[in-house]
């Protein structure tokens, strides 16, 4: 019975139901928007757009996690402490650039498609992960490091089994924020020829078709809520493991 009380399963069920049902909802949107000649988005399959959207988010977030966590670890080591202000400044600069500007700069170099969109997601999602990694590693008590040294642990073993293990919940909070940013930002990937759930939104805005905008925005919002719930569970598990 706990399954039925879990919001995650309800959100997932509604999302899947919409992916299946939206292609058959033409009469409903025609009733709501009688002034529109074509109230139902039919250029691409909603299933295909959802998978493409997830692929963009996963690719961009994976790059941000790899670079953000490794940079955070480097900046907290003795050899990298002098580079910490520079890394934080570069990550912050990446997020201050509007995603549209990043796409406009990347397209002449990388061409149209998913590649410039992934680059924009990477730059835009890097800062929360880097900040979470730095904050998490800084919060590890010095006594824990001293005990690890006393037990004869080497630097890599200390980093993996002590520092990253204790910092994992804070790092995961940064990852969670980054993924939420990426899901929303991936909506504009359609402007450079990449498929995403933003396709109905962009086409709807350019053609003054509110029905298209609602269909795309609803799916993006549900996807964000589902991912947030999943990552929240991972964060809670990491916090429990830490305790």
Q: Give the range of the structural domain holding residue 103, as residue numbers without chain letter.
A: 45-240
Q: Is the pLDDT of residue 99 over 80?
A: no
Look at residue 241 and tell me whether its pLDDT is greater than 60.
no
Mean pLDDT, residues 204-223? 95
Give a yes or no: residue 157 inside a domain: yes
* pLDDT > 70 in the chain, percent: 97
220-224 contact pairs (CB < 8 A, 24+): 220/53, 220/183, 220/184, 220/187, 222/11, 222/14, 222/15, 222/18, 223/15, 223/50, 223/53, 223/54, 223/183, 223/197, 224/180, 224/183, 224/184
Three state DSSP letters for the chain: CHHHHCHHHHHHHHHHHHHHHHHHCHHHHHHHCCCCCCCCCCCCCHHHHHHHHHHHHHHHHHHHHHHHHHHHHHHCCCCCHHHHHHHHHHHHHHHHCCHHHHHHHHHHHHCCCHHHHHHHHHHHHHHHHHHHHHHHHHCCCHHHHHHHHHCCCCHHHHHHHHHHHHHHHHHHHHHHHHHHHHHHHHHHHHHHCCCCCHHHHHHHHHCCCHHHHHHHHHHHHHHHHHHHHHHHHHHHHHHHHHC
Identity of the highest mean pLDDT range in 85-94, 129-138, 187-196: 129-138
Q: Is residue 132 in some structural domain?
A: yes
pLDDT above 90 (res 171): yes
Q: For the whole model, what pTM was predicted?
A: 0.90
pLDDT at 243: 45
Is 32 part of a structural domain of the chain? no
Query: Are the CB atoms for 74 and 68 separated by under 8 Å?
Result: no
- Position 186 scores a pLDDT of 92
Is 22 contained in some domain? no
Residue 20 included in any domain: no
In a domain, 105, yes or no: yes
Q: Residue 190's pLDDT is what? A: 86
For all residues of the chain together, what is the average pLDDT?
A: 89
Q: Is residue 75 part of a domain?
A: yes
The answer to whether position 39 is within a domain reads no
For residue 143, pLDDT beyond 70 = yes
Q: Count up the domains in the chain and report the number.
A: 1
> For position 2, what pLDDT does the model report?
60
CB atoms within 10 A of CB 110: 16
CB 95 within 8 A of CB 40: no
The backbone region for 113, taken as left when phi is positive above 0, alpha when psi lies in -120 to 50, beta otherwise, is left
The CATH number assigned to the domain holding 99 equals: 1.10.3720.10
């Amino acid at each position: 019975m706990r399954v039925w009380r879990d919001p995650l399963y309800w959100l997932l069920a509604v999302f899947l139901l919409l992916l299946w049902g939206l292609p058959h909802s033409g009469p409903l949107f025609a009733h709501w928007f009688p002034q529109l000649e074509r109230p139902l988005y039919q250029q691409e399959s909603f299933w295909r757009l959802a998978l493409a959207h997830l692929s963009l988010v996963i690719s961009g977030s994976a790059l941000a996690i790899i670079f953000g966590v490794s940079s955070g670890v480097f900046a907290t080591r003795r050899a990298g402490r002098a580079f910490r202000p520079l890394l934080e400044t570069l990550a912050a600069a990446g997020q201050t650039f509007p995603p549209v500007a990043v796409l406009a700069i990347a397209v002449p170099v990388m061409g149209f498609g998913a590649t410039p969109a992934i680059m924009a997601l990477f730059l835009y999602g890097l800062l929360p992960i880097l900040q979470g990694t730095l904050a998490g590693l800084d919060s590890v008590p010095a006594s824990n490091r001293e005990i690890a040294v006393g037990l004869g642990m080497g630097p890599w073993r200390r980093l993996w089994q002590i520092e990253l293990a204790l910092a994992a919940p804070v790092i995961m909070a940064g990852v969670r924020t980054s993924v939420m940013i990426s899901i929303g930002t991936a909506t504009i990937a359609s402007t450079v020829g990449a498929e995403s759930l933003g396709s109905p939104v962009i086409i709807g805005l350019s053609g003054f078709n509110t029905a298209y905008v609602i269909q795309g925005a609803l799916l993006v919002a549900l996807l964000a809520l589902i991912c947030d719930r999943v990552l929240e569970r991972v964060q809670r598990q990491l916090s429990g493991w830490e305790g």
